[in-house]
Amino acid sequence: MGKVKAEVDPDFDLVERSRAGDTAAFDELVSRHYERLHALIFRLTDADRCEDLTQEALVLAYRNIDRFRGEAKFSTWLTRIAVNLCRSEWRKRKKQRERRLDDIPREAILERADSNRKNAPKAMMEAEKGERIDHEIAARPPKLRIAFTLRYVEEYSPSEVAAILERKLGTVRSRLFNARQILKVRLRDLLR
């Protein structure tokens, strides 16, 4: 088993100490990774809950540190936990949305859709354009959105993305390809 040792993983010593029960060492890991994780979770979920989710990711890491076997860098493992949490957050929200839609009378939904259609041709203000981009990014299938965000926004290399998602490099490349095609189709009208 090829372990990622101290020379390639700057967190190696802290992880070993945390595993032995040194809470100050884990404190240091929290300080090192908090901001980065927080920003990533914010980008993936746009959540008011991103502070909560960041802490949840770190709690999971802390409580499962014995399972971290050093096959990847600690930061990769931690990012994987955060991404998985974001996925489950999406699933939860999807369920909530569906439940809310069930509560709204069908006529109200149709009325709202109609009014949206009438207002659509308005000249698009800069803020609206931003929102539209957000929407198009968020509207992509989760798999593509995650790969896209990690690769282009967070600037991980394709092989790092593959390690975080535990997928083959080819799979990651194909997700990135699809994400770029969708983006191209949906945002091309903003270029004119």
Partner 1 sequence: MNCRKVRKNLVLFLDGELPSSEAEGVQSHLEGCEACREEAELLRSTLSIALERARQKQAPPSLDNFASLFWRKEREQRGKDGLLPVGRLFPSHRRVRVTRYGVASVVALAVIGITIFAVRQGDKRGTPSGTGRSAIEVRKGAVVPPATGNLANIEKQLQELEAAVGRLRVPATSGTSFTGSEMREVYAAIGLAAANNYRNVLDMGDVAAKKYAHVASLFPGTSAGQQAEKMLSHLN
Q: Between residues 98 and 189, which has the closer beta carbon with respect to partner 1?
A: 189
User: Least distance to partner 1 from the beta carbon of 113, Å?
Assistant: 26
Q: Between residues 112 and 135, which has the closer beta carbon with respect to partner 1?
A: 135
The site for partner 1 (CB under 8 A) is made up of 21, 23, 27, 30-31, 34-35, 38-39, 42-43, 50-51, 54-56, 58-59, 62-64, 66-67, 130, 133-134, 136-137, 149, 152-153, 158, 173, 176-177, 180, 183-184, 187-188, 190-191
Closest CA to 179 of 155, 150, 154, 156: 150
Q: 141 in the Ramachandran plot: left (φ > 0), alpha (ψ -120 to 50) or beta?
A: beta
User: Least distance to partner 1 from the beta carbon of 5, Å?
Assistant: 21
User: Least distance to partner 1 from the beta carbon of 49, Å?
Assistant: 11
Closest CA to 162 of 175, 145, 179: 175
Which H or E element spans position 5? none
The 3-state secondary structure of 41-110 reads HHHHHCCCCHHHHHHHHHHHHHHCHHHCCCCCCHHHHHHHHHHHHHHHHHHHHHHHHHHHHHHCCHHHHH
User: Least distance to partner 1 from the beta carbon of 66, Å?
Assistant: 5
Quick one: DSSP state of residue 89?
H
Q: Between residues 114 and 134, which has the closer beta carbon with respect to partner 1?
A: 134
Contact 15, 6 (CB under 8 A): no
Q: Cα–Cα distance between 87 and 90 in angstroms, integer?
A: 5
Q: Between residues 6 and 177, which has the closer beta carbon with respect to partner 1?
A: 177
Q: Between residues 113 and 123, which has the closer beta carbon with respect to partner 1?
A: 123
User: Least distance to partner 1 from the beta carbon of 104, Å?
Assistant: 29
